[in-house]
Structure 1
Amino acid sequence: MALSATDVVRRVVWGRDRRRIRATWRILLGFGVVLGVLLGGGRLLERVDLPSVLVNGPVALLVVAALGAYALVASLVPGERPLRGYGLEVDRRWARDFLAAVAAGCVFQGLLTGLLLATGSGRVVETLSPGVASGNGAPAVVVAVAATALAFAAIGLWEELLFRGVFILNASEGLAARGLSPRRAVWAAGGANVLVFGPAHALVAAQGATPLFAAGQAMAAAVYFAAAYVLTGSLAFPVGLHFATNFWVASVFGQAGSGFPALVRLERSLGSGPVELLLLGLPSLALLALIAAWVRVTRGSVTIDESLMEVVRSRRGSAAAE
């Protein structure tokens, strides 16, 4: 018997199991709601004359609104999990992982900065730069630094929620539902995540970096962000790494000509040769080692988080629902 248009739509969106929409739509739902609010809110903020000393601090308000909207929509969609189900269950362990990740991220960025200076790919052009707070005294600098840190923490939160939590967990479930073993499904989803995250960042290359280097750097970042998420089953470590990376490049060894207050400003020159390959590879391997060491100390073994595996196992073989 021929299916009606309504039945076709239901089959595409829900499959045979009406309790839950398919994995692809769960991923698109998260990206659509969060990015929609961020882009729409960003347009509104452009019309507001905010003090320059706040730099990108107002972004944090947009992130709160975006995550709130996503949490609300998710609660209304059949079978969709709450945000804490993606690794946002904040408790003492979450805070400990976050702080450890910030420390690891600073070690990673310190090594990268040292290599930049040693290879001549980075050159110090300014120290103790107040950026947009110039001429307004120490209190303005403190406000600018705090606003910068708050904004980058918020940016790390939404990007890791979408690219690691929403993408990897739902993609893993979808792949497992189609017969892939849970372990392979998780790693395959992590690999796909690298391919999605990297090229998207080629369009936002940092000062002094070619789009090719920016894409390579983002793909390397996606590897250690994904590894941190898969091995801990939590967003704490990837969010901490993301925050440390962004804040370091903005306000510790910031970019030349940037408005962010910075301890030191570096002029970077990054192409796509063997030196750049070293700059991408060596610090990334060191960071992966730090992640593995932390997981070993806090979880006992370096393997896919068991809670994450349990979620994926529960979907194996249920292709009609995914």
Structure 2
Amino acid sequence: MLALLKNLLWNDGTHRLRLPWRLLVWLGLLVSLGLLAQILIVLIRSPSAEPLLVLVTPGLSPDRALIAVLNVVFLASQLVVMVGSVYVAGRYLDRRQFRDFGFHLDRQWWIDLSFRLALGAVLMTGIFLFELLVGWVTIRDLVFVARAESPFWPWFLWAFVSFVAVGIYEELLFRGYLITNLAEGLTWSEQVGRATAVGLAVLVTSLFFGVAHAGNPNATLASTAGIVVAVLMLAGGYVLTGELAIPIGIHITWNFFQGPVYGFPVSGTNGGVALVATEQSGPTVLTGGNFGPEAGIIGLVAAGIGLVLVALWVRWRDGRLRFPTELTTPERR
């Protein structure tokens, strides 16, 4: 009985907990770190913290000082929680190097990142120009910020920093960590080949990502399905290269140009700052409406084009398309 229980929990071949238990421990670590971050935010909101907030933000009123500090603390805590949980779980549970989740920062990595930063911008610019030409977008203002008393450029820069951070930690979690672990875990059976394991890992994590956005403002069943399909563009970049440069690059500029540049909603939310403030009309099934382009057919077409261009780029770069072996058989510490 004990031997059976041990076999269910522990893999003697790899000297690790089996995949389901590793993921549960990681999830517990993620939740614990998230609770600590929430406690910190509650402390910052308390009246007793006001003198310290004014001290570290000279020249700002107490209300604006609180907003500024909360923004910085929230973003920093998100990075610490997401990246920290993957680092600890990867090192002590998975026995992997952190770089093996998609961060081999060589010359090619930075070239891929630069190319995909440009691609994300081009795809969203294409959506904007198409809707502008057919009359579904009207430009109502330039250099717009919702808080009339606030300067535009600091908020615009902060929006860029925020989307950089989101692009990094979401891709690390959903592509780098989860796809890698699930793809490896699914190969436990000899009947599941490497390609099938990677494909199933992509499908499961894409569904998870879509459900994770189902609670966003203005979310619908169509937006959830659209997110799932659009994520295939991001996942494709990871599973074809084993690196996060391509999905991180596309994720950052797709969201940044979608919201702060062209004024579209980003996954149902509006950040209150836009280089080009717009009003949108047109069929919701095509434009995505108040959720953003991912919920519409136009956004899905753009994501499909992006996926094809990713595949063409990798084929041109490597001379072939394949799944890197480290996705299912990593070199452990």
Bin for the TM-score computed over the shorter chain: 0.7 to 0.9
Q: 1:250 to 1:33 in 2, by over 3 A?
A: farther
Match for residue 227 of structure 1 among 224, 231, 236: 236
Q: Which runs of 5 or more structure 2 residues have no equivalent in the other structure?
A: 46-64, 289-295
Match for residue 224 of structure 2 among 189, 211, 215: 215
- Shift, 1:56, TM fit: 4.1
Matched, 1:13 2:12: no
1:56-135 equivalences under 5 Å are: 56-66=71-81, 67-77=83-93, 79-118=94-133, 121-132=136-147, 134-135=148-149
CA contact (8 A) 2:91 2:98 kept: no
In the other structure, the counterpart of 2:50 is none
Q: 1:103 to 1:151 in 2, by over 3 A?
A: same
Q: Secondary structure at the match of 1:221?
A: helix
Root-mean-square deviation (CA, aligned residues, Å) is 3.0
Q: 1:159 to 1:310 in 2, by over 3 A?
A: closer
For residues 50-77 of structure 1, the C-alpha deviation after alignment (integer angstroms, 9 at most, x for no partner) is 4545784444311342223542354333
Matched, 1:153 2:125: no
Match for residue 174 of structure 1 among 177, 185, 191: 185
Q: Which amino acid aligns with 1:68?
A: G
Q: Which amino acid aligns with 2:118?
A: A
Q: 1:65 to 1:17 in 2, by over 3 A?
A: same
In the other structure, the counterpart of 2:328 is 312
Q: Which amino acid aligns with 2:168?
A: L
Q: Larger RCO: Structure 1 or Structure 2 (Cα < 8 Å, ≥ 6 residues apart)?
A: 1
Q: Which amino acid aligns with 1:150?
A: V
Please give the alpha-carbon distance, in whole angstroms, between the structure 1 residues aligned to 2:131 and 2:275. 17
Q: 1:198 to 1:99 in 2, by over 3 A?
A: same
Matched, 1:48 2:29: no
- Shift, 1:263, TM fit: 0.6
Q: Which amino acid aligns with 2:315?
A: R
Please give the alpha-carbon distance, in whole angstroms, between the structure 2 residues aligned to 1:104 and 1:200. 25
- Shift, 1:248, TM fit: 1.7
Q: 1:186 to 1:136 in 2, by over 3 A?
A: closer
Q: Secondary structure at the match of 1:129?
A: strand
Q: 1:314 to 1:87 in 2, by over 3 A?
A: closer
Q: Secondary structure at the match of 1:100?
A: helix
Please give the alpha-carbon distance, in whole angstroms, between the structure 2 residues aligned to 1:57 and 1:267. 30
Q: Secondary structure at the match of 1:135?
A: coil
Q: 1:184 to 1:233 in 2, by over 3 A?
A: same
Please give the alpha-carbon distance, in whole angstroms, between the structure 2 residues aligned to 1:249 and 1:197. 19
Number of residue pairs the alignment of both structures matches: 300
1:236-275 equivalences under 5 Å are: 236-255=245-264, 258-268=270-280, 273=285
For residues 62-104 of structure 1, the C-alpha deviation after alignment (integer angstroms, 9 at most, x for no partner) is 1342223542354333x43132111123233222211211111
- Shift, 1:219, TM fit: 0.9
Q: Which amino acid aligns with 1:215?
A: T
In the other structure, the counterpart of 1:23 is 19
For residues 8-59 of structure 1, the C-alpha deviation after alignment (integer angstroms, 9 at most, x for no partner) is 2x43332444611222233344444345424541453255364545784444
Q: Secondary structure at the match of 1:48?
A: helix
Normalised TM-score (structure 1) = 0.80
Q: Which moved more, 1:83-92 or 1:263-272?
A: 263-272
- Shift, 1:255, TM fit: 4.3
Q: 1:251 to 1:62 in 2, by over 3 A?
A: same
